Amino acid sequence: MFDPAAGYPTHRPRRLRGNPRLRDLVRENVLTRDDLIYPVFVYHGSDVSREIPSMPGQRQWSLDRFGEVVDEAADLKLPGIMIFGIPEHKDARGSAALRDDGIVQEAVRLAKRRAPELLTITDLCFCEYTDHGHCGPLSEATGRTDVDNDATLPLLVEQAVSHCRAGADVIAPSGMMDGMVRALRAGLDGSGFAHIPIMAYSSKFASAYYGPFREAAESAPSFGDRRGYQMDPANGDEAVREAALDLAEGADVIMVKPALAYLDVARRLKDEFRVPLAAYNVSGEYAMIKAAAERGWIDERRIVLETLTGFKRAGIDMILTYHAPDVARWLQRG
Ligand code: PBG
Ligand code: ZN
């Protein structure tokens, strides 16, 4: 190990910075197209391709138009898409999420037909499907209105198995219910889907950065907030414990969400567990860059590439980002 006190002769770090080829040689982290997953929104109805006002460049797609964004992702050779669905009918239990002909299930079928090599990763949760906007059915059993953790688990399994029957390649439970990974692993194994990996949203924080997404997915809670199940942004040790639990329960990939304000958490998880690590560069992070770029206040391309390269430096292996198509295009051009 380099010890500055010993008078190591390389006390002129600039020697390695003057020549661009040398800079290439000593570069520690490289962002590539293969690191990216593109989150997309499928909306009920027909002939919908509607830009989300707080997420410039991102759209809600009805199934009959969804092929356009599938083709874009496939043509750019992105590794995968993360599919979110906004159903027509919401109810207290989110039952639209469980139908084999549900919106995400149909979107998966369409994507696999159209671009078999493109990974379909499905977000597993109920907040887009419940009329109250919480991530599972509610109960009063604890003396306050709360998501019923244990009643949510079999519903998540049902949703996951239905996604897998449609052809989902990876499932990504995002609801932060206790025991969800264990229940899902057992449920998938028992239904012939032992080969399907689980990408667990292990440390998902109760964040204000989700605002634009909730507009896009029409999934804002109608009362209260999600602090009873998502994590307190102040906690890092707890994120390590949550990831340890998910790994013990059978998670194949763990995730940190959001990304920018939580890169310390990402680094801790990478150092602690050395397992594949994902980060979700969420809607609010995207919106901030787009807003400043639209005003001409920042150089969008350089800011995005710097940001995502920073994620790699923090130990993140795969990045869920709405910037994915732009990044793929920028990196193509070299
Ligand atoms: C909910 C969910 C959220 C996001 C994806 N799924 C957050 C929330 O509403 O609590 C946020 C993604 C983003 O902001 O881009 N299960
Ligand atoms: Zn949710």
Give me the pLDDT at residue 4, please: 65
Give me the pLDDT at residue 98, please: 96
Low-confidence ranges of the chain (pLDDT < 50): none
Instruction: Work out the burial of residue 106: count CB atoms within 10 Å of its CB; fewer than 13 is exposed, 13-18 middle, 19 or more buried.
Output: middle
Give me the pLDDT at residue 58, please: 98
Q: What domains can be seen in the chain, in order of their start residue?
A: 30-333 (3.20.20.70)
Expressed in angstroms and rounded, the spacing between residue 301 Cα and the centre of ligand 1 is 25
Query: Which pairing describes strands 36-43 and 80-86: parallel, antiparallel, or unpaired?
Result: parallel
Cβ of 125 below 6 Å from ligand 1: yes
Q: Among the atoms of ligand 1, which is closest to the Cα of residue 322?
A: 15
Would you tell me how many other CB atoms lie within 10 Å of the CB of residue 254?
A: 27
Query: Which pairing describes strands 170-173 and 199-204: parallel, antiparallel, or unpaired?
Result: unpaired
What is Dmax (Cα atoms) for the chain? 70
What's the pLDDT tens digit per position in 225-262?
A: 899 999 999 999 999 999 999 999 999 999 999 999 99
Nearest to 117 by CA among 71, 148, 161: 71
Cβ of 33 below 6 Å from ligand 1: no
Q: Among the atoms of ligand 1, which is closest to the Cα of residue 207?
A: 10
Ligand closest to the CA atom of residue 210:
1
The structure's pTM equals 0.96
Nearest to 198 by CA among 136, 271, 122, 107: 122
Q: Is the peptide bond before 53 cis (omega within 30 degrees of 0)?
A: no
Expressed in angstroms and rounded, the spacing between residue 213 Cα and the centre of ligand 2 is 11
Cβ of 182 below 6 Å from ligand 1: no
Q: Whose CA is nearest to atom 7 of ligand 1?
A: 210
Q: What are all long-range contacts of 309-314, with beta carbons under 8 Å and residues at least 24 apart?
A: 309/29, 309/30, 309/31, 310/263, 311/259, 311/263, 311/266, 311/279, 311/281, 312/29, 312/30, 312/31, 312/35, 313/28, 313/29, 314/263, 314/264, 314/266, 314/267, 314/270, 314/279
Ligand closest to the CA atom of residue 129:
2
Cβ of 255 below 6 Å from ligand 1: no
The residues annotated as belonging to the active site are 204, 257
Cβ of 205 below 6 Å from ligand 1: no
Expressed in angstroms and rounded, the spacing between residue 125 Cα and the centre of ligand 2 is 5
